[in-house]
Amino acid sequence: MIYVNIAKRLKELRESKGFSVYKLSKLSEISSTYLHEIERGEKQPTVEKVSRICKALGITLAEFFADTQETEPLPPEIKRITELARQLHPYQLETFTELLEALVEKNKTKGN
């Protein structure tokens, strides 16, 4: 089981984006006082609040809770594909998956 220190992780991600607590507060619509309390480990945010923080930071919940020792953040192109795929109906997602698989197979045969 992966344990994530939410306080440490939040501060690490916020600083890596160059955000002040105030800026993250405005983007996430969570008070700066509450964000400071989270970062000091005084408050444990709800999943809904962590989700808002992630959206403001431009990351997914999975990336927030990822084991940073083993996982690299997704490149922006992959994030964009994921965002678009989430908007598809199930039958469209199946077609999209088949298209991606065909492209990968074509690259294998070309040796790329």
Which residues make Cβ contacts (< 8 Å) with residue 13, sequence separation at least 6?
57, 59, 64
d(C-alpha 32, C-alpha 28), whole Å: 10
pLDDT tens digit at each of 112 positions of the chain:
344 689 989 999 999 999 999 999 999 999 999 999 999 989 989 999 999 999 999 999 888 988 655 456 678 888 888 888 888 888 898 999 999 999 999 988 876 5
- Superfamily designation of domain 6-65: lambda repressor-like DNA-binding domains (1.10.260.40)
pTM for this structure?
0.58
Under 8 Å between Cβ of 2 and 67: yes
- The domain limits of the chain are 6-65, 76-110
Under 8 Å between Cβ of 53 and 28: yes
Which residues make Cβ contacts (< 8 Å) with residue 51, sequence separation at least 6?
61
The residue with tokens 């077609």 is 95
Under 8 Å between Cβ of 64 and 13: yes
